[in-house]
Structure 1
């Protein structure tokens, strides 16, 4: 009979001894995290303080930037502590808290990108009806659903995983993952697997279907519309598409790494790729939108003069 128990802590086995270089890694990651915080906070303040940006597209962007702050804060401080530590363990409650932050960040990101594609679909395909279709109440409802649904869904996911009897407490990652814990279970995980599939469909597949549908409609209008319509579509949709592709790439690798044996991938490369969607997206997205969106770019130029 296999011995099973509920462990009070987990060991993160993906860390390696970097010697004196750990201080260099610490400074690099700290600088990266401070850049994420500063860039996202700057754009949140710019959107909130400037009335000309109180439009649906920028309000959804603000929600996206808040999520980038939330997701990076769920990882970076923990990562910084682990780099300096010689013992890479984490208590079970904190491990599940990190799972909640990381997974809800991913869900909110996908839902937010889906809602932004829907907003662009209405703006480009129904420009005359846009203001009546995208009302203040609808904007508030969409943002509320974007945040509340992932929080509730992940709470259920953790409620199913936390009581599992485990045969070990070693997680081969640099941060906690739900499926990594489920794989350690000695007890039946059928319910966990079914709910995990349901959660993936609701939080990833359905938003992607909405995004594909929106862009199919946008492309149809662009091909049959005027040059001005095409230019508007390119200017507003390009940052969204690039951000979506960047996040999807990181998320896909994270899912593949969790579900399949990646022992053939060098350990350092595996670590970097597993952190990609949690590190590059929070910095890449605000910079991309800040550079591409002319309204935001013009307002940021006046910030040194004290004008918002």
Structure 2
């Protein structure tokens, strides 16, 4: 999807991608597939033939590996925390479309002009540079499980970004104010209720939103604006929804949800608990 290969005339890119993946799986190009509870593929192995074919454009670089003659590489995986400078000097950074790295590759001299996918999961980054906005072709960004403290406001200029992941970022306390400008965003992965983007209702292409926290800055009716929302969703602080009528404005009964979780911020009295369960019933009606 990040490469721009999936452009179905009708239907979702994700459905088209799943079809292609299942076709390759049926022909044993992929093996040992693992899926999560929502049937999303989390890992798989490639057949030896597929690995051989991919070597013309992809490189998995482990510590001590030779990197001579790698200027043709388009997809780079820096497996270890070794000499990333030597690796990125050997390849042509301007031609790279995918980088998986456990080290900070954004604060060096390399110019990633064609980058579509950047995965920095479990890397040693603590911040992203303001210059990340220059990665104008970027579709996928993952900074999960890092010590990153903030996302720069310039990240909201990545108008083609479709997937943003920042789960298990314990030091991340807030998001940029203008996340609403990420008009192409389809999948937003995070696990901290405090990090629900401001004006999330304006991200109308959003399909994945794992957590939504009701409060003064986020009314449950915002979910009603996210017509494409599907999959799993956890709604926190549901006791702040006043009544059934307000809950129905979330319009979850009309969405393709397969898992719904609801939680209270703290223990409530009997009357409020009764309201809580009426709200849950309103949200789950027609399921």
> In which range does the TM-score fall when normalised by the shorter chain?
under 0.3
Q: TM-score, normalised by structure 1?
A: 0.20
* Structure with more relative contact order (C-alpha pairs < 8 Å, separation 6 or more): 1
Larger proportion of strand: 2
Q: TM-score, normalised by structure 2?
A: 0.21
Larger proportion of helix: 1
